[in-house]
Structure 1
Amino acid sequence: MNIITQTPRIIIRLFEPEEEEMYLSLYNDERVMLYLPFRSREEHIKIFREHLVTGPVGSVTGRWGLFNKADNDFIGMCLLRLFDDGSDSIELGYALHYNHWGKGVASEMADALLTHMRNINQAAKFVAVTDLGNIPSQRVLEKAGMKRDGNYFRNGEELAFFRSLI
Protein backbone atom coordinates (compact mmCIF):
# COMPACT_ATOMS: atom_id res chain seq x y z
CA MET A 1 0.00 0.00 0.00
CA ASN A 2 1.56 3.27 -1.16
CA ILE A 3 0.19 5.88 1.26
CA ILE A 4 0.47 9.52 0.20
CA THR A 5 -0.89 10.98 3.45
CA GLN A 6 -3.44 10.20 6.13
CA THR A 7 -5.52 11.67 8.93
CA PRO A 8 -7.16 9.98 11.92
CA ARG A 9 -10.14 9.08 9.65
CA ILE A 10 -8.85 8.74 6.10
CA ILE A 11 -5.99 7.34 4.03
CA ILE A 12 -4.99 8.83 0.68
CA ARG A 13 -3.02 6.27 -1.31
CA LEU A 14 -2.18 4.97 -4.74
CA PHE A 15 -4.75 2.68 -6.29
CA GLU A 16 -3.93 -0.99 -6.79
CA PRO A 17 -4.58 -2.53 -10.25
CA GLU A 18 -7.29 -4.82 -8.84
CA GLU A 19 -9.26 -1.77 -7.64
CA GLU A 20 -10.25 -0.69 -11.15
CA GLU A 21 -13.92 -1.77 -10.88
CA MET A 22 -14.17 -0.16 -7.46
CA TYR A 23 -12.84 3.10 -8.96
CA LEU A 24 -15.25 2.87 -11.89
CA SER A 25 -18.21 2.39 -9.53
CA LEU A 26 -17.74 5.98 -8.40
CA TYR A 27 -18.88 7.22 -11.81
CA ASN A 28 -22.05 5.09 -11.98
CA ASP A 29 -23.98 7.36 -9.60
CA GLU A 30 -25.89 10.23 -11.22
CA ARG A 31 -25.59 12.27 -8.02
CA VAL A 32 -21.79 12.02 -8.12
CA MET A 33 -21.74 12.83 -11.84
CA LEU A 34 -23.98 15.89 -11.46
CA TYR A 35 -20.99 18.24 -11.16
CA LEU A 36 -18.39 16.24 -13.09
CA PRO A 37 -17.66 16.28 -16.83
CA PHE A 38 -19.02 13.28 -18.72
CA ARG A 39 -16.47 10.64 -19.62
CA SER A 40 -17.07 7.23 -21.13
CA ARG A 41 -16.24 4.06 -19.21
CA GLU A 42 -13.27 3.58 -21.53
CA GLU A 43 -11.97 7.07 -20.72
CA HIS A 44 -12.25 6.36 -16.98
CA ILE A 45 -10.39 3.05 -17.44
CA LYS A 46 -7.60 4.83 -19.33
CA ILE A 47 -7.32 7.51 -16.63
CA PHE A 48 -7.24 4.88 -13.88
CA ARG A 49 -4.51 2.84 -15.55
CA GLU A 50 -2.38 5.90 -16.33
CA HIS A 51 -2.31 6.82 -12.64
CA LEU A 52 -1.25 3.46 -11.22
CA VAL A 53 2.37 4.56 -11.29
CA THR A 54 3.89 7.27 -9.14
CA GLY A 55 5.34 10.42 -10.57
CA PRO A 56 8.94 11.53 -10.19
CA VAL A 57 10.29 12.14 -6.69
CA GLY A 58 9.13 15.56 -5.52
CA SER A 59 6.12 15.57 -7.85
CA VAL A 60 2.92 16.91 -6.35
CA THR A 61 0.64 15.60 -9.09
CA GLY A 62 -1.30 12.37 -9.22
CA ARG A 63 -4.69 10.69 -8.80
CA TRP A 64 -5.24 8.72 -5.60
CA GLY A 65 -7.80 6.67 -3.76
CA LEU A 66 -9.46 7.95 -0.61
CA PHE A 67 -10.23 5.25 1.96
CA ASN A 68 -11.79 5.04 5.41
CA LYS A 69 -9.00 4.27 7.85
CA ALA A 70 -11.24 2.21 10.17
CA ASP A 71 -12.57 -0.30 7.63
CA ASN A 72 -10.73 0.46 4.34
CA ASP A 73 -14.06 1.39 2.71
CA PHE A 74 -13.57 3.19 -0.62
CA ILE A 75 -14.69 6.80 -0.20
CA GLY A 76 -13.65 8.28 -3.53
CA MET A 77 -10.70 9.74 -5.37
CA CYS A 78 -8.69 12.94 -5.25
CA LEU A 79 -6.21 14.44 -7.65
CA LEU A 80 -3.64 17.12 -8.16
CA ARG A 81 -2.76 17.94 -11.77
CA LEU A 82 -1.26 20.78 -13.75
CA PHE A 83 -3.92 23.41 -14.28
CA ASP A 84 -4.91 23.82 -17.92
CA ASP A 85 -4.35 27.59 -18.13
CA GLY A 86 -0.67 27.33 -19.08
CA SER A 87 0.56 28.48 -15.67
CA ASP A 88 2.51 26.36 -13.21
CA SER A 89 -0.50 26.11 -10.88
CA ILE A 90 -1.64 22.72 -9.56
CA GLU A 91 -5.37 21.94 -9.63
CA LEU A 92 -7.08 20.08 -6.80
CA GLY A 93 -10.01 17.85 -7.75
CA TYR A 94 -12.01 15.09 -6.11
CA ALA A 95 -15.10 12.91 -6.32
CA LEU A 96 -16.69 11.09 -3.37
CA HIS A 97 -19.30 8.37 -3.22
CA TYR A 98 -22.62 9.98 -2.36
CA ASN A 99 -22.94 8.22 1.01
CA HIS A 100 -19.82 10.12 2.16
CA TRP A 101 -21.12 13.58 1.28
CA GLY A 102 -21.78 16.02 4.10
CA LYS A 103 -19.56 14.25 6.65
CA GLY A 104 -16.50 16.50 6.47
CA VAL A 105 -14.47 13.95 4.53
CA ALA A 106 -13.86 16.23 1.54
CA SER A 107 -12.66 19.06 3.77
CA GLU A 108 -10.40 16.70 5.68
CA MET A 109 -8.99 15.28 2.43
CA ALA A 110 -8.37 18.70 0.87
CA ASP A 111 -6.62 20.04 3.95
CA ALA A 112 -4.48 16.91 4.41
CA LEU A 113 -3.51 16.63 0.74
CA LEU A 114 -2.63 20.30 0.30
CA THR A 115 -0.69 20.40 3.58
CA HIS A 116 1.27 17.29 2.60
CA MET A 117 2.06 18.58 -0.87
CA ARG A 118 3.14 21.99 0.43
CA ASN A 119 5.69 20.15 2.56
CA ILE A 120 7.04 18.49 -0.60
CA ASN A 121 7.02 21.66 -2.71
CA GLN A 122 6.62 24.92 -0.79
CA ALA A 123 6.53 26.93 -4.01
CA ALA A 124 3.52 25.07 -5.45
CA LYS A 125 0.48 27.22 -6.19
CA PHE A 126 -2.83 25.41 -5.81
CA VAL A 127 -6.10 26.21 -7.59
CA ALA A 128 -9.47 24.52 -8.04
CA VAL A 129 -12.64 24.91 -10.08
CA THR A 130 -16.19 23.85 -9.34
CA ASP A 131 -19.49 23.94 -11.11
CA LEU A 132 -21.10 27.31 -10.33
CA GLY A 133 -23.95 25.52 -8.55
CA ASN A 134 -21.76 23.23 -6.46
CA ILE A 135 -21.87 25.30 -3.27
CA PRO A 136 -20.83 22.40 -0.96
CA SER A 137 -17.57 21.91 -2.89
CA GLN A 138 -16.96 25.64 -2.84
CA ARG A 139 -17.25 25.54 0.97
CA VAL A 140 -14.78 22.62 1.05
CA LEU A 141 -12.25 24.70 -0.88
CA GLU A 142 -12.73 27.68 1.43
CA LYS A 143 -12.16 25.47 4.48
CA ALA A 144 -8.95 24.23 2.84
CA GLY A 145 -7.62 27.80 2.67
CA MET A 146 -8.70 28.73 -0.84
CA LYS A 147 -10.51 31.89 -1.91
CA ARG A 148 -12.89 32.46 -4.80
CA ASP A 149 -11.13 34.46 -7.50
CA GLY A 150 -13.73 34.93 -10.20
CA ASN A 151 -14.72 32.40 -12.82
CA TYR A 152 -12.85 30.23 -15.30
CA PHE A 153 -14.02 28.84 -18.64
CA ARG A 154 -13.22 25.22 -19.50
CA ASN A 155 -14.61 23.53 -22.59
CA GLY A 156 -17.19 26.28 -22.94
CA GLU A 157 -18.44 25.90 -19.36
CA GLU A 158 -18.19 28.69 -16.79
CA LEU A 159 -16.78 27.42 -13.49
CA ALA A 160 -16.10 29.00 -10.10
CA PHE A 161 -12.33 29.53 -9.74
CA PHE A 162 -10.47 29.23 -6.42
CA ARG A 163 -6.88 30.05 -5.54
CA SER A 164 -4.90 28.97 -2.48
CA LEU A 165 -4.20 31.79 -0.05
CA ILE A 166 -0.99 30.17 1.17
Structure 2
Amino acid sequence: MTTTLQLASERLLLREWQPRDLTPFAAMNADPAVMRYFHAPMTQQETEEAMARYNAQLARDGFTMFAAEDRATGELLGILGAQTMRFAIPNVAQPAVEIGWRLATTAQGKGLATEGANAILNYLRETTQLHEVVAITAVENQPSRRVMEKLGMTYMPALDFDHPNIPADSHVNRTVVYRRAL
Protein backbone atom coordinates (compact mmCIF):
# COMPACT_ATOMS: atom_id res chain seq x y z
CA MET A 1 0.00 0.00 0.00
CA THR A 2 1.24 3.46 -0.82
CA THR A 3 -1.45 5.21 1.24
CA THR A 4 -0.86 5.25 4.99
CA LEU A 5 -3.46 7.79 6.11
CA GLN A 6 -4.61 7.41 9.68
CA LEU A 7 -7.09 9.55 11.59
CA ALA A 8 -7.24 9.53 15.35
CA SER A 9 -9.89 10.54 17.83
CA GLU A 10 -9.75 10.18 21.60
CA ARG A 11 -10.53 6.45 21.53
CA LEU A 12 -10.31 5.43 17.88
CA LEU A 13 -7.72 4.99 15.18
CA LEU A 14 -9.22 5.08 11.67
CA ARG A 15 -6.90 3.48 9.14
CA GLU A 16 -6.62 1.53 5.92
CA TRP A 17 -7.63 -2.13 5.93
CA GLN A 18 -4.96 -4.75 6.59
CA PRO A 19 -4.99 -8.54 6.09
CA ARG A 20 -5.20 -9.06 9.86
CA ASP A 21 -8.62 -7.34 9.82
CA LEU A 22 -10.30 -9.99 7.68
CA THR A 23 -11.17 -12.47 10.43
CA PRO A 24 -12.67 -9.99 12.93
CA PHE A 25 -14.37 -7.95 10.19
CA ALA A 26 -15.90 -11.06 8.61
CA ALA A 27 -17.12 -12.21 12.03
CA MET A 28 -18.70 -8.81 12.65
CA ASN A 29 -20.33 -8.79 9.20
CA ALA A 30 -21.75 -12.29 9.83
CA ASP A 31 -23.23 -11.31 13.21
CA PRO A 32 -27.04 -11.03 12.91
CA ALA A 33 -27.14 -8.48 15.75
CA VAL A 34 -24.68 -6.19 13.94
CA MET A 35 -26.42 -6.66 10.60
CA ARG A 36 -30.02 -6.32 11.82
CA TYR A 37 -30.55 -3.12 9.81
CA PHE A 38 -28.98 -4.57 6.66
CA HIS A 39 -30.65 -6.90 4.18
CA ALA A 40 -28.44 -9.85 5.10
CA PRO A 41 -25.17 -10.71 6.81
CA MET A 42 -22.09 -10.62 4.59
CA THR A 43 -20.05 -13.64 3.57
CA GLN A 44 -16.29 -13.78 4.02
CA GLN A 45 -15.86 -13.24 0.27
CA GLU A 46 -18.09 -10.15 0.37
CA THR A 47 -16.05 -8.88 3.32
CA GLU A 48 -12.77 -9.41 1.43
CA GLU A 49 -14.18 -7.60 -1.61
CA ALA A 50 -15.35 -4.71 0.57
CA MET A 51 -11.92 -4.34 2.20
CA ALA A 52 -10.26 -4.23 -1.23
CA ARG A 53 -12.82 -1.70 -2.48
CA TYR A 54 -12.30 0.52 0.58
CA ASN A 55 -8.51 0.54 0.19
CA ALA A 56 -8.84 1.28 -3.54
CA GLN A 57 -11.14 4.19 -2.75
CA LEU A 58 -8.66 5.56 -0.20
CA ALA A 59 -5.91 5.53 -2.84
CA ARG A 60 -8.24 7.13 -5.42
CA ASP A 61 -10.21 9.66 -3.36
CA GLY A 62 -8.22 10.27 -0.19
CA PHE A 63 -11.07 9.05 2.02
CA THR A 64 -12.86 5.77 2.54
CA MET A 65 -14.74 3.56 4.97
CA PHE A 66 -11.83 3.02 7.35
CA ALA A 67 -11.06 0.18 9.72
CA ALA A 68 -11.91 1.54 13.18
CA GLU A 69 -9.70 0.19 15.92
CA ASP A 70 -9.50 0.81 19.64
CA ARG A 71 -6.49 3.09 20.20
CA ALA A 72 -5.73 1.49 23.56
CA THR A 73 -5.93 -2.18 22.58
CA GLY A 74 -5.62 -2.32 18.79
CA GLU A 75 -8.85 -4.33 18.61
CA LEU A 76 -10.88 -3.89 15.42
CA LEU A 77 -14.19 -2.35 16.50
CA GLY A 78 -15.81 -1.85 13.10
CA ILE A 79 -15.94 0.38 10.08
CA LEU A 80 -16.30 4.14 9.99
CA GLY A 81 -15.76 6.69 7.27
CA ALA A 82 -17.04 8.17 4.04
CA GLN A 83 -17.48 6.83 0.54
CA THR A 84 -18.72 7.96 -2.83
CA MET A 85 -22.08 6.27 -3.14
CA ARG A 86 -22.33 3.43 -5.64
CA PHE A 87 -25.91 4.31 -6.59
CA ALA A 88 -27.81 7.56 -7.03
CA ILE A 89 -30.21 8.86 -4.40
CA PRO A 90 -33.15 10.55 -6.11
CA ASN A 91 -32.99 14.36 -5.83
CA VAL A 92 -29.48 14.42 -4.33
CA ALA A 93 -26.59 15.96 -6.28
CA GLN A 94 -24.30 13.30 -7.69
CA PRO A 95 -21.84 11.95 -6.97
CA ALA A 96 -23.01 11.96 -3.37
CA VAL A 97 -20.59 11.19 -0.56
CA GLU A 98 -22.00 9.15 2.29
CA ILE A 99 -20.71 9.08 5.84
CA GLY A 100 -21.35 5.84 7.66
CA TRP A 101 -20.44 3.40 10.41
CA ARG A 102 -20.98 -0.16 11.57
CA LEU A 103 -19.63 -1.34 14.90
CA ALA A 104 -19.29 -4.69 16.63
CA THR A 105 -21.92 -5.24 19.32
CA THR A 106 -19.29 -4.78 22.05
CA ALA A 107 -18.54 -1.28 20.71
CA GLN A 108 -22.12 -0.08 20.31
CA GLY A 109 -23.79 2.40 22.65
CA LYS A 110 -20.54 4.02 23.79
CA GLY A 111 -20.50 7.13 21.61
CA LEU A 112 -17.81 5.71 19.31
CA ALA A 113 -19.80 6.20 16.09
CA THR A 114 -20.35 9.88 16.90
CA GLU A 115 -16.73 10.35 17.96
CA GLY A 116 -15.32 8.73 14.84
CA ALA A 117 -17.81 10.38 12.50
CA ASN A 118 -16.86 13.80 13.85
CA ALA A 119 -13.22 13.01 13.05
CA ILE A 120 -14.26 12.06 9.50
CA LEU A 121 -16.33 15.23 9.07
CA ASN A 122 -13.39 17.37 10.23
CA TYR A 123 -11.03 15.54 7.87
CA LEU A 124 -13.39 15.97 4.89
CA ARG A 125 -13.89 19.65 5.68
CA GLU A 126 -10.13 20.27 5.87
CA THR A 127 -8.94 18.16 2.93
CA THR A 128 -11.65 18.03 0.27
CA GLN A 129 -13.74 20.39 -1.81
CA LEU A 130 -16.95 18.66 -0.73
CA HIS A 131 -19.83 20.92 0.26
CA GLU A 132 -22.04 18.33 1.92
CA VAL A 133 -22.29 14.72 3.01
CA VAL A 134 -25.29 12.47 3.32
CA ALA A 135 -26.05 9.54 5.57
CA ILE A 136 -28.62 6.86 4.83
CA THR A 137 -30.15 4.07 6.86
CA ALA A 138 -33.25 1.95 7.17
CA VAL A 139 -36.23 3.89 8.55
CA GLU A 140 -36.28 1.72 11.66
CA ASN A 141 -32.57 2.12 12.51
CA GLN A 142 -33.06 4.52 15.40
CA PRO A 143 -29.52 4.11 16.82
CA SER A 144 -27.92 5.35 13.58
CA ARG A 145 -30.52 8.06 13.19
CA ARG A 146 -29.62 9.36 16.66
CA VAL A 147 -25.94 9.47 15.65
CA MET A 148 -26.86 11.43 12.51
CA GLU A 149 -28.76 13.94 14.64
CA LYS A 150 -25.85 14.26 17.11
CA LEU A 151 -23.63 15.06 14.12
CA GLY A 152 -25.87 17.99 13.23
CA MET A 153 -27.31 16.25 10.19
CA THR A 154 -30.81 17.14 9.02
CA TYR A 155 -33.41 14.53 8.18
CA MET A 156 -34.84 15.14 4.71
CA PRO A 157 -38.17 13.22 4.66
CA ALA A 158 -38.90 14.27 1.07
CA LEU A 159 -35.80 12.28 0.03
CA ASP A 160 -36.82 8.94 1.61
CA PHE A 161 -36.49 6.19 -0.99
CA ASP A 162 -36.69 2.46 -1.59
CA HIS A 163 -33.13 1.12 -1.58
CA PRO A 164 -32.30 -0.20 -5.07
CA ASN A 165 -30.09 -3.01 -3.74
CA ILE A 166 -32.57 -4.39 -1.19
CA PRO A 167 -35.67 -6.44 -2.07
CA ALA A 168 -38.88 -4.39 -1.95
CA ASP A 169 -40.44 -6.66 0.67
CA SER A 170 -37.50 -6.38 3.09
CA HIS A 171 -38.07 -4.62 6.41
CA VAL A 172 -34.97 -2.51 5.70
CA ASN A 173 -35.85 -1.43 2.15
CA ARG A 174 -37.33 1.97 2.99
CA THR A 175 -34.39 4.30 3.49
CA VAL A 176 -34.08 7.72 5.10
CA VAL A 177 -31.65 10.44 4.05
CA TYR A 178 -29.87 12.91 6.30
CA ARG A 179 -27.69 15.77 5.01
CA ARG A 180 -25.07 18.06 6.44
CA ALA A 181 -23.06 20.89 4.97
CA LEU A 182 -19.31 20.75 5.52
Q: TM-score by structure 2 length?
A: 0.81
Pick from 72, 84, 103: which aligns with 1:70?
Answer: 72
Q: How does 1:1-166 map to 2 (within 5 A)?
A: 2-38=4-40, 39-53=42-56, 54-56=58-60, 59-83=61-85, 84-85=87-88, 87-150=94-157, 151-155=160-164, 156=168, 157-166=173-182
**Cα deviation code 1:63-122 (max 9, x no counterpart):** 211011111121101232223217122011211000111100011011111111111114
More strand by share: 1
The one-letter code matched in structure 2 to 1:52 is: N
The one-letter code matched in structure 2 to 1:119 is: E
Native 8 Å contact 1:63 1:79 kept in 2: yes
Count of residues in Structure 1 that have an aligned counterpart in Structure 2: 164
Paired with 1:69 and 1:44, the residues of 2 have a C-alpha distance of: 23
Moved over 3 A (4+): none
**Percent pairwise identity:** 22
Deviation at 1:41, TM superposition (A): 2.9
Q: TM-score by structure 1 length?
A: 0.88
Paired with 1:62 and 1:7, the residues of 2 have a C-alpha distance of: 16
How big is the alpha-carbon RMSD for the aligned residues of Structure 1 and Structure 2?
1.9
Consecutive unaligned residues of structure 2, counting only runs of 5 or more, are none
Consecutive unaligned residues of structure 1, counting only runs of 5 or more, are none
Paired with 1:18 and 1:40, the residues of 2 have a C-alpha distance of: 17
Paired with 1:14 and 1:92, the residues of 2 have a C-alpha distance of: 16
